[in-house]
């Protein structure tokens, strides 16, 4: 969506704070011995308390309020009573929701407890690359150039990117135009970021795989060449300068709100 008036920005801030808070609290709540279903139930209750509805089940009939992927699962992991979290696990939680007609998406990978399997470097790289990519996004920048940055930074650190999972536009629905904000340089994609638009930008940094394959359950994604993947995602508003990071709790640059409205008829 494009932000055309202040009430829309307020709506996007509200839903983004709900998903960001839920993600933060779910990460703090996760403990060894807990099932991913218990963790998902906790997240579902948080969203409900905030008046938000979980987007995966609402939009696609996903069997859970949030996606929780563990170890070699790349994304779309189904919360289960059979999956028990252990110290050292690489966990990804992806929270998306709808609130008052607005949608937001926020995700992050982390190591549970002590880093016994040496996943922290991968997690830190994914987080760092997303931060750098977001810092380069402004109105007029080619989407493909951000993909080039993500892929180049991953290669510099000895990693690969997942090529068939991408960021996307968001706002009035979970997935909107632009439908593909890739993690690699797609020379055929000439689309540029538009000022005032809302997008969800995400990294998929991988140790071995370059593609994610859907498993027999119809949801869980695994890498085509094994290994591990770290993902981080923020919902942002594109401006003429630094973006407004809506899902960064107590973060972002509030001065960008003025930049957002300077050159439009937003009221």
- What is the pLDDT at residue 264? 47
- Percent of the residues in the chain that have a pLDDT greater than 70, as a whole number: 93
Please check if 202 is assigned to a binding site: yes
- What is the pLDDT at residue 267? 40
- What is the pLDDT at residue 251? 42
Asked if residue 159 is part of any domain, the answer here is: yes
Using only the alpha carbons of the chain, give its radius of gyration.
18
Domain span at residue 224 reads 6-262
**How far is residue 165's CA from residue 16's CA, in Å, rounded to a whole number?**
21
pLDDT tier at 249, thresholds 50, 70, 90 = confident
Output phi, psi for 18, to 5 deg: -65, -45
Asked if residue 84 is part of any domain, the answer here is: yes
Rounded mean pLDDT, 241-250: 88
- What is the pLDDT at residue 11? 97
pLDDT tier at 260, thresholds 50, 70, 90 = low
- pLDDT over 90 (residue 153): yes
Asked if residue 185 is part of any domain, the answer here is: yes
pLDDT tier at 231, thresholds 50, 70, 90 = very high
Please check if 105 is assigned to a binding site: yes
- What is the pLDDT at residue 265? 46
Span between the terminal Cα atoms of the chain, in Å: 16
Q: Which of 147, 251, 249 is closest to 202 using CA atoms? A: 147
Question: How distant, in Å, are the alpha carbons of 2, 22, 113, 170, 220 from that of 28?
Answer: 33, 10, 11, 27, 24
Asked if residue 109 is part of any domain, the answer here is: yes
The residue written with tokens 């932000």 in the block is 3
Please check if 233 is assigned to a binding site: yes
> What's the pLDDT tens digit per position in 171-201?
999 999 999 999 999 999 999 999 999 999 9
List the structure tokens of 259. 């930049």
**How far is residue 258's CA from residue 8's CA, in Å, rounded to a whole number?**
14
Helices (H), the chain: 6-29, 36-49, 55-60, 120-135, 143-156, 256-262
CATH code of residue 180: 3.90.230.10
- pLDDT over 70 (residue 266): no
Asked if residue 267 is part of any domain, the answer here is: no
Residue partners of 255: CB distance under 8 A and separation at least 6: none
Please check if 175 is assigned to a binding site: yes
Mean pLDDT of the chain: 94
Asked if residue 47 is part of any domain, the answer here is: yes
- What is the pLDDT at residue 250? 38
Asked if residue 187 is part of any domain, the answer here is: yes
Peptide bond connecting 7 to the previous residue in cis, omega within 30 degrees of 0: no
**How far is residue 253's CA from residue 55's CA, in Å, rounded to a whole number?**
27
pLDDT tier at 99, thresholds 50, 70, 90 = very high
- pLDDT over 70 (residue 262): no
Partners of 236 in the β-ladder = 199, 245
Residue partners of 107: CB distance under 8 A and separation at least 6: 23, 67, 92, 93, 94, 95, 202, 231, 232, 233
List the structure tokens of 40. 């998902």
The domain total for the chain is 1
Please check if 145 is assigned to a binding site: no
Asked if residue 1 is part of any domain, the answer here is: no
pLDDT tier at 56, thresholds 50, 70, 90 = very high
- What is the pLDDT at residue 89? 98
- pLDDT over 80 (residue 220): yes
């Amino acid at each position: 969506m494009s932000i055309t008036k202040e009430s829309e920005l307020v709506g996007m801030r509200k839903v983004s704070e709900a998903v960001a808070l839920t993600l933060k609290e779910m990460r703090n709540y996760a403990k060894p011995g807990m099932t991913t279903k218990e963790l998902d139930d906790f997240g579902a209750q948080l969203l409900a308390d905030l008046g938000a509805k979980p987007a995966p089940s609402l939009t696609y009939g996903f069997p859970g309020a949030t996606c929780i992927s563990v170890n070699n699962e790349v994304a779309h992991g189904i919360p289960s009573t059979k999956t028990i979290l252990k110290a050292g696990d690489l966990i990804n939680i992806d929270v998306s929701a709808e609130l008052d007609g607005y949608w937001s998406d926020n995700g992050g990978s982390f190591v549970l407890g002590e880093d016994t399997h040496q996943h922290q470097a991968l997690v830190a790289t994914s987080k760092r690359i997303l931060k750098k990519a977001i810092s380069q996004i402004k109105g007029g920048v080619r989407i493909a150039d951000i993909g080039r940055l993500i892929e180049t930074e991953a290669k510099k650190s000895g990693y690969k990117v997942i090529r068939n999972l991408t960021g996307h536009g968001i706002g009035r629905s979970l997935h909107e135009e632009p439908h593909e904000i890739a993690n690699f340089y797609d020379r055929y994609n000439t689309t540029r970021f538009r000022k005032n638009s809302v997008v969800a930008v995400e990294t998929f940094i991988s140790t071995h795989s370059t593609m994610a394959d859907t498993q027999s359950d119809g949801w869980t994604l695994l890498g085509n060449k094994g290994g591990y993947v770290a993902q981080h995602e923020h919902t942002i508003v594109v401006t003429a300068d630094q973006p407004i990071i809506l899902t960064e709790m107590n973060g972002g640059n509030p001065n960008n709100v003025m930049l957002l409205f300077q050159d439009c008829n937003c009221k």
